Chains A and B, each alone.
Chain A
Amino acid sequence: MTIDSSSLASLSNSRSIALDKVPLLALGDFQKTILGSVKAGRRVSALFGAPAADEGNTPLYAVLADDEENKLYVLRTIVSGERFPSLTPDCPQVHLFEREIAEQFGLVPEGHPWLKPVRYRHSWTNLDAWNRPPGEPILPAVGDFYKVDGDEVHEVAVGPVHAGVIEPGHFRFQCNGEKVFHLEIALGYQHRGVEEAMIGGPTSRSIHFAETLAGDTTIAHCTAYCQILEALAHCQKPPRAQVLRAISLELERLANHVGDLGALANDVGYLPTASYCGRIRGDFLNMTALLCGSRFGRGMVRPGGVAFDADEKLVEELLKRLGDAERDTFGAVNLLWETPSVMARFEGIGILPHEVAIELGIVGPAARASGVARDVRQDQPSGLFRFAHIPMSTCDAGDVLSRAFIRRLEIQHSIEFIREQLHQIPSGPVKAPVTPLAPKSLAVALSEGWRGEVCHVALTDERGRFSRYKVVDPSFHNWTALAYVLRGQEISDFPLCNKSFNLSYCGHDL
């Protein structure tokens, strides 16, 4: 199907557009455009509802990403009434977006194959897609689960309280002996209502909401938030700030990737890498702390630039620590590839086929491990990444080994990138003033967090305040992939598969 390009407004990452320039399509055309775009190789970065100006007419917005042409497309429609035909049967990657719309705005996507709440919350409107009484509390993970019948089938429920110190989530397996037929994941325990709290912003609290969307992705989320403000204020951030932002983003990736490789080693009982990587992760976190005083990068990225400058002495210290950490990292990580018993555990486990990754709209290292070349730093570059490139790493097998290998490659690339940038930080200020936001506009900001694409979309009202703030964490796309790869796997390999994705619960629950 060809797409009438007049029905789409194109913009690039971290740019804003006046709301009236966003084409308003009839519901049918809106859906046809999404379907056609996905068939043509684009993907759905965000699909969400917004509070209705007049009751009963809920606007829906979609952000489509074209990774080939490095463009983003936005479009909108208005749903009158309480239901709309579901796109999920023809376009599986919107399944969770439609469930979210059903939960937040009470609109029923008719024909959705598995219409369940996403976070188990009351809707923002008077409507409720499941006709639940308004006063009654809604408990997470209480409700229907997919069930397999049979004498030899048994059900294993894990969580929400886990044996390790991790976030809460409920996993339900349908098993035959050791073999898993189906895994269903129910989340929502970590819902804090960030999207609701952002409405009416930006206030002095908004940036802290953005920073704590997912604790281990502080820089990526905060960068996306700041890019939204900068786009809406048409603010040009100084080059020095862009470099420092990119460096802290890559440091965040390094700390998490190293930690993940250690955790993977730990899950197969391989001690040396597990212990060393735990320590080296701390070294990278401490480098972030050296920059801004917080190991997780809190307070580093601020609207208009960054809050902390790096003087020459600090840069030198960073370079020295980077060299040490690089040596230690590869010493520890290469052990994995030199130990046959570890490779035997990683290889062929939890395979996510290429076509499935595309169909489910998977992002980040998980997608790249299945041969899907998707990386915001290359496809939708913003900030420093428009001028300095990090090679994209892909792998074909889509198994745990590939996801580990992608991390190893990205560690290498990120270290090289940081070293290169530290040698050539441009001089100048690190912050530019941010003017009030443009009224009645829409802005989209993407950044490549260590888990994948972080997408923020903001709509402003006539006073330049957020009337809707949409956040899509990479985990929102990728949890489905984890459930998928467990099919036909041994249940004892679940922790390993889980760790190879290492998704965020609070990033999903918002």
Chain B
Amino acid sequence: MTAYLLKRLIIAVLTLVLASMVVFAVMEILPGDPARLMLGLNASADQVEMLRDQMGLNAPLVLRYLHWAGGLLSLDFGRSYTYSVPVIDLVRERIAVSLPLALIALALSTVIAIPVGVFSASRQGRAGDTLVMGAAQLGVAVPNFWFALMLIYLFAVWLRLVPAGGFPGWGAGIWPALKSLILPAVALALPQAAILARVARSALIEVLNEDYIRTARAKGLPHRAVLWRHALRNAMIPVLTILGLQFAFLLAGTIIIENVFYLPGLGRLIFQAITQRDLIVVESIVMLLVAAVILINLLVDFSYAIVDPRLRGRQ
């Protein structure tokens, strides 16, 4: 177990180093000068050069990489070119929106997907299954910005139950803040739930064909107990894998939803930083996300061990 853990950790660190190089290189290749963007069309070339000097953009590439990567090691993420505040402050503000949003969406999609998957698997091939899986197929296919807009028109414009977008900040109170996260969370969660439900269904169907299930049924266990206690637990591994992937996706992939609901989240920040060539913000946040994804993958590996006792003994 320890050797396994150590190996995983070394791989994680190497991945981080490699990712930092790739991220830095990609952002450097991107055409566009942040200084010219800030000063606009009427500024002279001299002024742009002066600002580039101030921002440290004229230093050699390798030096700049080392400076940035060194900063990351001591948890110094640098300063945003456009906002001129520390990147970590921006991240702290934005994560207070994106993390709760991702967590609510994840919880929602799990709560919807597992029962739906179980329901479908236990009625495999019957009308209920076909209907539910048809709906899931639709859920996967519908673009989530369109779905989000439909939700906005229904719940914000017509029923006026929730705001059409924006985020008042947690300082405005838990309920107003949560209220503005409900629609985005639903818009994010449903397509994810659809994918998850399909995975849960097929994993469960596979397990239901195993010998031990037949044994359990033969000894007279009720259908419910077989399904929920014996079958579902063994079908959890693929479900957990997808869940882990989804969380990473939700955290980073909220760009579209955050734009539609104009939420000040991490996805919006990255999007804006790319268009404004706020290189340091993009680089640092992408590295944070890479770290988060690696961490989540580690956690998923551990959770396999919890659901599947056989894995605990393996090296």
Whether A and B are associated in the same complex: the answer reads: no
